[in-house]
Amino acid sequence: MSDLYRNAMNARLAKLPATLPGDDGDEEEEETDGLGALPGQGLGPPAMFLNDAAHRPRLTPKTRTKKAPNPEYTPISAATYFEQALMVEVPERGLDFRVYYTPPKTADGAVMVCHHGAGYSGLSFACMAQEIVTMTKGECGVLSVDARRHGRTTAMESHDDSDLSEVSLVQDFAALVKTFFKDPATAPVLILVGHSMGGSVVVRACPLILESKFHVAGVAVLDIVEGSALDALPHMNSILNARPDGFDSPEEAIEWHLNTKAIRNPLSARVSVPNIIKPSDSTSPLVPAYVWRTPLRLTAPFWRSWFEGLSANFLICRTARLLVLAGTDRLDKELMIGQMQGKFQLIVIPSVGHLLHEDDPRGTAETLVEFWRRNERIKLPIKVKKVGEL
């Protein structure tokens, strides 16, 4: 049984009465006990099984204790990780996208175009992007995108950005690529990279980008498998119930992500977490000063659309395919058959969580760079197919 499904069952069991060592009997705190980290679902930072009452997530202002910001968790600017932070208007989608970009240094270079998971932002790829640029000596650049209702991307005047269906997100991504690079003839080679929900987006957007005559050297999906994701969906409300309503400071948000092991790399957390929260609009002392930027509970009608058909669409992409996982027991039947038939390359990164590109940015970067070089930079003999191609 996969880690994803096992942890989803933990969420289900958490609804039963339980008494844990050190528990003071508070009913609100008992609701969080037994909720495991949920890798592979892409629905925001997971809860963590913690018996230590001092580190349990606080669910309501009644149980939340305010504290001064810890300087150990001071946010870090993304300016040292990307060369540019841009706003790109895409009128056809009614959106003003925030993107983070480091262009390739060579005329024949490539760009990895990255789409984050639900609840995260383009800065989730910051540390990995820096590693990619460094190890390729600038031959490969990185473009990382904030999706609609995420990060700094905003709706243009008189436009509604509340539709987070798979169709809408795919159209957004494809339109942004076409707008940003403009002319396919002069555009760099593209490698599409998506984490969790973003993996489903890039897989489905790939045919649209190819139809526009862009050169897509490969599609890389990070830690998402259709079967495990769909198994976990019935338990998602329990998972979201375990998250704090908000935080008193960005430092507290960063600390929470690290304490719960939602992110295991302090450096990456200090760069990415501040972009997934925002100042609260409320002046009430009972409301946290910072709240989640993306209202994940309101996206529930779209959850199934994000993942249904992912495996089939991944296997028919007309380019090289790479699946990177944080565990070995998460392949569904369709992917297991596809792997045995050599339809894609599978890499497992050890000792990481669901946010594997944040937990181990260098290891993930090495995997992606090797994938790019193998499928684009090496001059292959005639009739020798690229990795992941039929």
Contacts of 62 (CB under 8 A, 6+ apart): 28
Helix (H, G, I), strand (E, B) or coil at 82: coil
Yes or no: say if 322 and 219 are a contact pair by the CB < 8 Å rule.
yes
Distance CA 166, CA 338 (A): 23
Residue pair 39/327 in contact (Cβ under 8 Å)? The answer is: yes
Q: Which residues pair with 333 in a beta bridge?
A: none
Q: Would you name the residues annotated as active-site residues? A: 196, 223, 354
| CA distance linking residue 173 with residue 261, whole number of Å | 29
Distances in whole angstroms, Cα of residue 186 to Cα of each of 110, 120, 183, 213, 251: 12, 31, 6, 11, 43
The Cα–Cα gap between 371 and 242 comes to 37
Residues with Cβ < 8 Å from 101, sequence gap 6 or more?
82, 83, 84, 85, 86, 141, 142, 143, 144
Q: How many residues does the chain have?
A: 390
Instruction: List the strands of the sheet with 277-279, edge to edge.
Output: 246-247, 290-292, 277-279
- Grouping H, G, I as helix, E, B as strand and the rest as coil, residue 267 is helix
Q: How far apart are CA 30 and CA 27, in angstroms?
A: 5
Going by C-beta distance under 8 Å and a sequence separation of 6 or more, which residues neighbour residue 388? 218, 319, 320, 321, 322, 343, 344, 345, 375
Which residue, among 44, 60, 42, has the nearest Cα to 277 in the 3D structure?
44
